[in-house]
Amino acid sequence: MKAKSIRNWYLVHKWSSLICTAFMLLLCITGLPLIFHHEIEHLTGDHPEPVEVAEDAPRITLDGILETAMKRVPGDVPIFMIFDDEEPIVYMRTAASPTEAEDIRSNAYDARTGDHLPAPPFDEGFMWVMFKLHVDLYAGLPGTLFLGIMGLLLVASIVSGVVVYAPFMRKLDFGTVRADRSARVKWLDLHNMVGIVTLAWLFVVGLTGVINTLATPIIKLWQFNEMSALIEPYKGAPPPENLTSIDDALRIAREAAPGTEPSFIAFPGTDFSSPFHYAFFMQGNTPLSSRLVEPVLIDAGTGELTVKAELPWYVTTLLISQPLHFGDYGGLPLKIIWGILDIAGIVILGSGLYLWIGRRRSTLESRLRELEQGADAAVTA
């Protein structure tokens, strides 16, 4: 590779790394507990715990859960009904109105009995702080989009790092750490070795993180394009005054999407539905199909099927990216692997920061020459 080309790639690697390192280090640190959020919440008692119920005990309906939930929050309207993937728990999200959904209240109910399950507020505590720092730095959508830019810089840093260091590292045995050299050289070797080992993971997590930061624009685009077309026949019609049974609507949704169960239900007037519909987001029972939801719109006034919609490719990409980012596909074993790789990412970012802070004053050409000579010396030693 020509010296000028190496110089350009080195500059890309240097400045993309410098700009994003501190923020990526923060994301790796906050992301580590988020990988195990379900397990941590169980250990700390922050997760609702359903009690054992006899097999022949009577079961409550979704309409019954909704009625119980709304009595608990008088003056609110239902926003979402969310179904736990692993336990018989239904979360009811309510707010003063569908358009004031930023001030949401969440309560958990036993899906079998309808009993309220005590749990700390979902927007408080250690895990909430980690979540907010990881998602938007407590700055809302601007913070989320800023982190997306940092993620793009991380991807650029990874690609340029491979281009710059691959020719030099061919002269060293894989995993070589020159322990007889200075502390800076040892840290450089460690930085490069761990970086290569975790290269694919860092690239995937960085890229899926960037996609996740676009969640709000992606959903808005889906609403503007697909959802607007679906509700065109309702244009000018008043919203229904009396809503049909959720259980009856769910039966229709299951018939429209056989072999699926609801992941969540969006009530009329929310961002995920329309003023006229229940939106049932149905999921399969495999690790992949459980993430690729199928929206089924049911007329909330008549209970009739409006349409089973196909998600556009950009929404499907988002839905695949979200669990992949946190290793939430293969249960605890995959989470442990993700956690180990996350720690490796912290080592890479921390060592890169150390190498920058402890850098010597030298020209770019001398640093590149030193790197190549160091590799040559290791081969002849």
Residue 334 CA, distance from chain mean position: 15
Going by C-alpha positions, the residue among 117, 82, 121 that lies closest to residue 103 is: 121
Residue 369 CA, distance from chain mean position: 41
β pairing state of 277-283 and 261-266: antiparallel
Is 259:75 a contact under the CB 8 Å cutoff?
no
Distance of alpha carbon 326 from alpha carbon 31, whole angstroms: 8
Greatest alpha-carbon pair distance for the chain in Å reads 83
Is 182:355 a contact under the CB 8 Å cutoff?
no
Is 163:11 a contact under the CB 8 Å cutoff?
no
pLDDT at 181: 66
Is 26:136 a contact under the CB 8 Å cutoff?
no
Four-point Cα dihedral 87, 83, 91, 322, nearest 10 = 100
pLDDT at 375: 45
* Cα 25–Cα 335–Cα 193 angle in degrees, nearest 5: 50
**What are the residue ranges in the chain where pLDDT is below 50?**
361, 373-381
Going by C-alpha positions, the residue among 285, 279, 288 that lies closest to residue 308 is: 279
pLDDT at 51: 84
Domains plus CATH for the chain? 3-39+130-212+334-380 (no CATH), 47-124 (3.10.450)
Type and span of the H or E element at 266:
strand 261-266
pLDDT at 74: 92
Q: Which residues of 82-117 are buried (b: 16+ CB within 10 A; e: fewer)?
A: bbeeeeebbbbbbbeebeebeeebebbbbbbbbbbb
pLDDT at 225: 84
Is 131:35 a contact under the CB 8 Å cutoff?
no
Dump pLDDT digits (tens) for 315-330.
889 988 988 888 877 6
HSE-up of 298 (CA within 13 Å, CB side)?
A: 28
Dump pLDDT digits (tens) for 181-192.
666 666 666 666
Encoded amino acid at 121, one letter:
P
